[in-house]
């Protein structure tokens, strides 16, 4: 039903949109009364032909969620989705929420932007904050591509920046005054025309990850995500990572991340963490073990396997041979920012949940299934992702 409703919304906007290149201006054909910035649909929209609309417009038109209660699609499917809106502890601070990768609201920046007690520099920072939230919303935009509704999840920063600039211009929020005017009234969803790069129009991509360990300067340990295209590896994203290495002060044990090839066979949404009794100082039930942004794995994780064999049952709790290694986000962003140590897993910053959204979209997969005390698992059905850890 959600897909049908979204189709209807897109069709309605395509039919009524007067100008894709300027600020949104929708007209309801029944009343001829201008509509701005708000998505409406009616029952008859369900009967319209989506393909005909796409062929007529020859455009990649996308719906962007501008609400103050936004949640990414994969997390929205989770039984623990309300945890995304946690505002306890550190996450009471809107800036910390953004640091943890939670871009659920424009409210903080808009309210601050409209304050008369702020300096020009403060307003500039507020505007930059709005653009950061907008970037995340554009990344999660739902688009019509070749007659299909899907999330292109444009990951390359230079391409995503172009889409942000284009969207800001179309919505009239490419200036401080324009931004204030746009947010005078609450917006739900808006329609924009986005020039989606060809790479993101494919149904699937052959992806590969490299993790390059740096012993001399742990801040230089690097995570790189590639698209392998006709024997050429195209870098899509490069960021800091944390790996194991050295003795941990609380246990005096050494936890290394081995230099070898692993394989990702699934993505875990809102994972649980079962504390290893050998070194963990908490028990299951602590906030760091339960699904949510404070979980030790963050809100996304993937098991790393030694083999790339396709399992007989893609919904089995274990999909091959592994030794407890994971690729995951973290509830400790400082460990990534300052070059920390893990217990052998590969960590990336919590504000990079888009990596897991992108990987899931472009890797053939089965339906999500909840595993007891593990999380909600989306198993890959083919194209297991090679993760190469190098010294």
pLDDT at 30 over 70: no
Q: Answer whether CATH 1.20.140.10 is correct for domain 207-390.
A: no
Q: Rounded mean pLDDT of 116-140?
A: 95
pLDDT digits (tens, 9 = 90+) for 224-247: 999 999 879 999 999 999 999 866
Residue that wins the pLDDT comparison between 44 and 80: 80
Task: Give me 364's structure tokens.
Answer: 């053939």
Q: Are 268 and 296 in contact (CB under 8 A)?
A: no
Range from 155-164, 173-182, 244-253, 255-264 carrying the lowest mean pLDDT = 244-253
Residue range 1-5: mean pLDDT, rounded: 40
Reply yes or no on whether the pLDDT at 12 is more than 70: no
Residue 18 confidence (pLDDT): 30
pLDDT at position 278 is 82
> Residues 272-283: what's their mean pLDDT?
89
User: What local confidence, expressed as pLDDT, does residue 249 receive?
Assistant: 58
Q: Please report the pLDDT score of residue 250 as a whole number.
A: 60
Select, from the ranges 7-21, 187-201, 234-248, the one with the highest average predicted confidence (pLDDT).
187-201
Q: Is the pLDDT of residue 313 over 50?
A: yes
Domain boundaries, the chain: 2-201, 207-390
Identify the pLDDT of residue 340. 87
**Residue 87 confidence class, pLDDT cut points 50, 70, 90:** very high
Mean pLDDT within 181-206: 94
| 319-378 pLDDT tens trace | 887 778 999 999 999 999 998 889 999 999 999 999 999 999 999 999 999 999 999 999
Looking at every residue in the chain, the average pLDDT score rounds to 85
Residue 56: its pLDDT value, please? 44
pLDDT of residue 381 exceeding 60: yes
Confidence class for position 146, pLDDT limits 50, 70, 90: confident
Q: What is the pLDDT of residue 247?
A: 62
pTM: 0.85
């Amino acid at each position: 039903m959600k897909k049908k409703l979204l189709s209807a919304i897109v069709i309605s906007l395509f039919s009524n949109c007067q100008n894709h290149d300027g600020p949104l201006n929708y007209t309801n054909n029944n009343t001829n009364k201008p509509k701005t910035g708000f998505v409406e649909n009616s029952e008859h929209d369900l009967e319209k032909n989506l393909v005909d609309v796409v062929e007529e417009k020859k455009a990649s038109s996308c719906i962007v969620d501008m609400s103050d209660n936004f949640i990414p699609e994969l997390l929205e499917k989770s039984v623990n989705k309300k945890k995304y809106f946690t505002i306890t502890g550190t996450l009471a601070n809107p800036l910390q929420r953004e640091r943890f990768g939670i871009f659920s609201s424009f409210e903080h920046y808009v309210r601050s932007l409209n304050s008369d007690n702020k300096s020009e520099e403060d307003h500039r920072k507020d505007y930059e904050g709005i653009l950061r939230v907008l970037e995340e919303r554009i990344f999660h935009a739902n688009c019509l591509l070749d007659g299909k509704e899907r999330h292109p999840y444009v990951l390359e920063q230079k391409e995503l920046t172009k889409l942000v600039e284009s969207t800001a211009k179309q919505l009239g929020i490419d200036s401080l005054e324009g931004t204030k005017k746009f947010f005078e009234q609450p917006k739900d969803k808006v329609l924009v025309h986005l020039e989606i790069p060809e790479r993101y129009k494919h149904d699937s991509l052959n992806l590969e990850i490299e993790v390059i360990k740096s012993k001399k300067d742990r801040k230089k340990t690097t995570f790189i995500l590639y698209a392998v295209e006709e024997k050429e590896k195209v870098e899509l994203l490069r960021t800091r990572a944390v790996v194991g290495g050295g003795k941990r002060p609380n246990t005096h044990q050494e936890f290394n991340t081995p230099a070898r090839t692993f394989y990702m066979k699934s993505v875990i949404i809102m994972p649980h963490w079962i504390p290893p009794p050998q070194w963990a100082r908490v028990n299951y039930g602590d906030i760091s073990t339960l699904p949510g942004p404070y979980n030790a794995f963050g809100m996304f994780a993937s098991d790393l396997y030694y083999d790339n064999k396709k399992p007989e049952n893609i919904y089995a709790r274990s999909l091959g041979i592994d030794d407890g290694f994971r690729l995951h986000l973290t509830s400790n962003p400082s460990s990534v920012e300052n070059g920390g140590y893990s217990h052998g897993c590969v960590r990336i910053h919590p504000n990079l949940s888009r990596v897991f959204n992108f990987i899931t979209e472009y890797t053939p997969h089965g339906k999500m299934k909840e595993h007891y005390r593990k999380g909600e698992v989306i198993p890959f059905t083919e194209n297991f992702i090679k993760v190469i850890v190098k010294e």
